[in-house]
Chain A
Amino acid sequence: MNQRGGWALIKNTWQSWIQHRGFFFLLAFGWMLPLLVYLFIWSAAAGDGTIAGLTQESLAGYYLILILTNQLTYATTNWTVGDNIRYGQISRWLLQPMSPIYHALSQEIAGKVVFMLFSIPITGLLALIIRPQLNLTWGQALIFLPSIALAWALRFFWGYWLALLAFWVTRADSLLALQDSLIFLLGGHLAPIALLPPGLQTLARLLPFRYMSAFPVEVLTGQLGVQETLIGLSIQLGWTVLAIVLYRWVWTRGIRRYEAVGG
């Protein structure tokens, strides 16, 4: 571990990213749009009644929190890992007495700060207009914290081990696109999990994708009972541990194959 170097790197990356804040604000806006579209579609569908027990106001609350959660857990850096391997950029990180994952982590943390500078004011403004219904309790908020931390870790490490397949195949990024599509479908973006057909609901509860985005939102908006919450947390933890194990495994093997191209 090299905390001192890691911290310096975070500050440094942040300084360099804040120079391109316009780009990141646009990116954040782009991620927000589809979720806003589904917010309006489901709100319209619910009308004055409820769908699967969710009212118009609670659907609005769900999607507004999902917008923030999605941006907090989205691992943008994974998209650059493959290129860094393919074009030999990770060479300079491999030469440093610090694991290259620090570079990805520092970009993650720096990125979150930049995205939140944009997303928190915008969702706040939307909340004033749409007036969502949120029944927040301290208990839900308390469980939300570990579940969103795990959601981030799971989404980051799952994408990272997929991206590291670039050591073997040149375009591993397509797997990241697949991961995004599955999160869209089974991670509560297209519709809250409760609105999915029963077969897909079961699938969503078993596969890792719900635990990368929708699960913390369901916890915070009070959609889940105690038992569902505990089972969900255990499955989330299990997938996260597996993702980290897979990352370690793929990394130690991939690095032996690395050809440090260029130069």
Chain B
Amino acid sequence: MSFPYKTLRRQDATQPEPIIQVSHLTKVYRVPERAPGLGASIRSLFKPQHSDVPAVTDISFTVEPGEIVGLIGPNGAGKTTTLKMLSGLLYPSSGEAQVAGYTPWKRQPDYLRRISMVMGNRSALNWDIPPLDSFRVLSQIYRVPPDQYRQTLDELIATLDMEALLKKPVRNLSLGERMKCELVAGLLYQPDIMFLDEPTLGLDVAMQRRLRTFLKAYNEQHTVTVILTSHYMADVTALCPRVMLIHHGQLIYDGALHALAARLAPFKLVRLQFSTPVENFDDFVAQWPAVEQLPVENGSRTLRVPRADVPLVTARLLESLPVADLSVEDPPIEAVIDQIYAEGTL
């Protein structure tokens, strides 16, 4: 077992030990395969065909205590497989991982008590009985002392505003209401590490925002370490200063979210509004071959300007034209991510 990151960090005594250390983690699924049709299905009875599908390939990273990391990537990139290995649900094909000093897939009870995996599309609750009953059972399974259970539950119920849901059977709750209950189920025993797989899946915008606010506040108060996957970039921009981008099972970026945008989109958007109409604007822009004009929206013009040229271009615009309003923005992160998902490389 070797963790290059660990040896690097040792030299710096003030730096805490990483709580999650993953090195060369790989998962290959063996998938049965057959052509459609009756003939093929009969043939597969006698000679089943399998193919090896790599889901995660040679991933290495570390996470510090208290960090919130966003795991992003298109569908089927390997995000969920990675979380499933870290939460002990899957044995990896090769590679190592240490989380809070444990090897996840040994599934030691002491490890499982310290982690929580909340899946947006999978329920941890018994659907036949009210959530309050499920919570009580979970508190017993996780051996939460009764006082602590009551206190934690009260706190969670108050912050998530869910008093009214507690006595209805889970199957009668709406998706958003159920998600609140799933979060409570995942937090009752105060885990140190949370794996959130699409926690806002299928929720409306207002509910997404409330969950985000809650998660952020919870992380700050309790210093839990969080790895989160989401297809909503708003989740990631609101919660995760650091992102890991997985594509085709490989980790192709690990770093700050804004740096990803800068690296991918080497330009900024300059938005302009004029106090009086400008006739020769197109000619004016033509002096910079690297600057591109985007379609006019609501009377405001937008220019795509290479990052390095932004100071010069804005200065010239301001001194030569009747500018009423000028703003410089990063391109929307969705557009940036879209570009990587489509191209598959950085």
Contacts and interface: CB of A to CB of B under 8 A. Distances in A.
Contacts of B119: 91, 263
Given A2-B141, A91-B89, A16 B84 contact: no
Interface stretch (B62-70, B106-114, B304-312): B106-114
Interface residues of A, number: 28
Contacts of B80: 263
Interface string A146-173: 0000000000000000000000000000
Given A19-B128, A258-B90, A263-B80, A12 B109 contact: no
B141 A97 contact: yes
Contacts of B140: 4-5, 7-9
A11 to B, nearest CB: 8
Contacts of B143: 2, 4-5
Contacts of A92: 122-124
Nearest to A170: B32
A263 B90 contact: no
A262 B197 CA distance: 12
Interface in B116-149: 117, 119, 121-124, 126, 128-129, 133-134, 136-138, 140-143
Contacts of A5: 137, 140-143
A263 B134 contact: no
A96 interface: yes
B255 to A, nearest CB: 27
Interface string B183-202: 00000000000000110000
Contacts of A260: 84, 89-90
B88 interface: yes
Contact of A263 (B29, B121, B129, B133): B121
A110 to B, nearest CB: 12
Contacts of A7: 140
Given A9-B137, A94-B107, A95-B87, A263 B122 contact: yes
Contacts of A16: 126, 128-129
Contacts, number: 84
A259 B121 CA distance: 16
A255 B105 CA distance: 10
A202 interface: no
B113 A263 contact: no
A15 interface: yes
A88 interface: yes
A259 B92 CA distance: 10
A122 interface: no
B91 interface: yes
Contacts of B122: 88, 91-92, 262-263
Nearest to A262: B122
Nearest to B32: A170
Contact of B110 (A12, A19, A97, A255): A97
A26 interface: no
Contacts of A95: 87-89, 112, 115, 117, 124
Contacts of B123: 92
B181 to A, nearest CB: 13
A7 B88 CA distance: 25
Nearest to B120: A263
A259 B110 contact: no
Interface string B90-109: 11000000000000000101
25 contacts: A5-B140, A5-B142, A5-B143, A8-B137, A12-B134, A12-B136, A16-B126, A88-B122, A91-B84, A91-B89, A91-B119, A91-B122, A94-B89, A95-B87, A95-B89, A95-B112, A95-B115, A96-B141, A97-B112, A258-B89, A259-B29, A260-B84, A260-B89, A262-B122, A263-B197
